[in-house]
Amino acid sequence: MLPYGQRTDALMTLEAAFLMYDADADDTNKASNQERKAAKREQPELDDAELPAIVDDRPRVKVAGRVVLARDNGKLIWLNLRDHSRDVFQIAVSKRDCDEQGFALAKKLDLGDIVIAEGPLTKTNTGEVTCWADSLVPASKCLVPPPEKHAGLTDTEQRYRQRYLDMWVNPETTRVFMLRSKLMQTLRRVLDGQGFVEVDTPVLQTQAGGAAARPFFTHMNALGIDLSLRIAPELYLKRLLVGGMPRVYEVSRNFRNEGLDKSHNPEFTSLELYQAFGNYETMREIAEGLIREMALLASEDSDGDAAKMPFGDLEIDYASDFARVTYRELFKDALGFEIDDLDRARDEATKRGFKTKSEDGTPIADIFIVNELFEEVAEAKIDPSKPTFVLDYPAALSPLTRPKADTMNDPIPLAERWDLFIGGMEIGPAYTELNDPDIQEAKFREQLAGVDDEESTFRNFDEDFINALKVGMPPAGGLGLGIDRLVMLMSNSRTIRDVLPFPMMRPVGNS
């Protein structure tokens, strides 16, 4: 086994090595070899020292990689190496030119082994840049039989459960995770450049707030209390605004004890961001700017075009201005009548077979009827290939949002909130945040009153948050973006499991 340390210091990536190929040096070397051979043929009586010298200025490389393919021709063995920078890099190990241990190793190799090769760069007869190894040493042994070399590993279950295998067999998998990292860098760079400060707020909370979702619970021994894992960082970030931080964001791992499907994992990542003296309009500018930057990076990464980013059958345009439509307009276009026309809304819902009464027979509130129609009928009208902001949601659906003053007396008052839809997915909302402690308290209590027994076990009244608002929170804009879903869009991944290195899986062998 190779000792770690100095012997690996000079290693370069396969891509860096590949780019070092020097055609002139290679040609000169080949020519001088021919010259020497010819001289030997014509004058066999000459000593080696009298023959023309071999000129060899070919760049030498020292690389490490996993052996993904090996072709043993007897006294010449071809290896294809792979690393994070390059899928295929060819090594030739010949009995004549490689040292004895290196050649012996090449004979004994298994697919999946990691080796370190050293030698000059040349081109083969078929024109492939190749390291003509003069040394080959083992770096790591692969004891597991490799997946089929052409068809690869396609079994989705095994790909998710044994991601380490998936990653070396399917380099595309690794590329998605690397793109994800670059997208996060972009996001942080843009936000930091705008004066936003990244913070970390508690994951373990005595009461999970900031969203309506079932939390996970755990127990803390030292204090003898039950805790829940956060479902959203919102209420803590707002406390920081109260404390005087003007612009904060958190890349937040959230935990929701709900279902799994192709756009939901029980733990997922969101970006939440708050800007003092901002509003939902400034949030719109920030969101659009961020997503466009991400799309530019992702399109460059894949030699694509940010105006035509593939996502399944779609081509999504991130380069043009995002579309904007109000909740009211979208509703009217899709349904043919105004959201305030509550009688027609109720008729329409009945006609479409939606629930208009709850289990115990009491009629469902008008606003929920309207929103049901909106979500089922109007949302489907949004062009999935155009990122679209839907603006001005009904205030009753947005308890943490400042209402729009000029709609306060309408049948359905509106609030300064938008939702962003891309590729048929909801990417996130933004709000002009409510900062009136009295209204906030009333809305909290209203919400709590409406919950059933089961829900009440995890819905609490956050007294301290109201207290924070009483101290005074500056008017602010708040934004939440689903990072996993954005990475799906940017990497053309159809399921959230493809953008998570280790998605939630049912344990094997458990009943």
Partner RNA sequence: AGGAGCGUAGCUCAAUCGGUAGAGCAUCGGCCUUUUAAGCCGCAGGUUCAGGGUUCGAGUCCCUGCGCUCCUACCA
Cα separation, 289 vs 305, whole angstroms: 17
Q: Is 149 in the site for RNA (CB under 7 A)?
A: yes
Tokens describing residue 367: 């606003």
Map residues 160-199 to x or -, x wherever contact with RNA holds by CB under 7 A: x---------------------------------------
- In angstroms, the CA 41 to CA 35 distance is 10
Nearer to RNA, 103 or 249 (CB): 103
Applying CB under 7 A, which part among 57-65, 195-203, 335-343, 492-500 lies near RNA? Answer: 492-500
Q: Which position among 34, 124, 218, 320 is part of the footprint of RNA (CB under 7 A)?
A: 124
Among 150, 219, 351, 357, contact with RNA (rule: CB under 7 A): 150
Residue 417 contacts residue 430 (beta carbons within 8 Å): yes
> Rule CB under 7 A: is residue 94 a binding residue for RNA?
yes
Tell me how far, at minimum, the Cβ of 401 lies from RNA, in Å.
8
Site mask, RNA, residues 256-275, x = CB under 7 A?
x-xx-xx-x-----------
**Rounded-to-integer distance, Cα 356 and Cα 374, Å:** 14
Q: Are strands 76-83 and 86-94 parallel, antiparallel or unpaired?
A: antiparallel
The whole-angstrom distance between residue 162's C-alpha and the CA centroid of its chain comes to 19
- Asked if 336 touches RNA (CB under 7 A), the answer is no
x/- string (CB under 7 A) for RNA, residues 211-230? xxx-----------------
Widest pairwise Cα distance in the chain: 110
Instruction: Find the binder of RNA among 27, 157, 198, 226 (CB under 7 A).
Output: 157
Instruction: Confirm or reject binding of residue 137 to RNA (CB under 7 A).
Output: no
Contact 376, 408 (CB under 8 A): no
Q: What are the two backbone dihedrals, phi and then psi, of residue 236, each rounded to the nearest 5 degrees?
A: -75, -40
Phi, psi of 204 (to 5 degrees): -85, 120
The answer to the question of residue 254 lying near RNA (CB under 7 A) is no
220 vs 360: CA distance, rounded Å = 39
The CA–CA distances, whole Å, from 59 to 19, 98, 248 equal 10, 17, 50
- The residue from 6, 73, 362, 409 that contacts RNA (CB under 7 A) is 73
**429 part of the interface to RNA, by CB under 7 A:** yes
Shortest Å distance, C-beta 387 to RNA: 18
Query: Does residue 126 belong to the site contacting RNA (CB under 7 A)?
Result: yes
**E strand or H helix that includes residue 33:** helix 23-42
Closest to RNA by CB, 262 or 324 = 262
Chain centroid to CA 90: 31
Contacting positions for RNA (CB under 7 A)? 69-76, 78, 80, 90, 92, 94-96, 110-111, 122, 124-128, 130, 145-158, 160, 211-213, 256, 258-259, 261-262, 264, 399-400, 429, 447, 494-495, 497, 505-506, 508-511
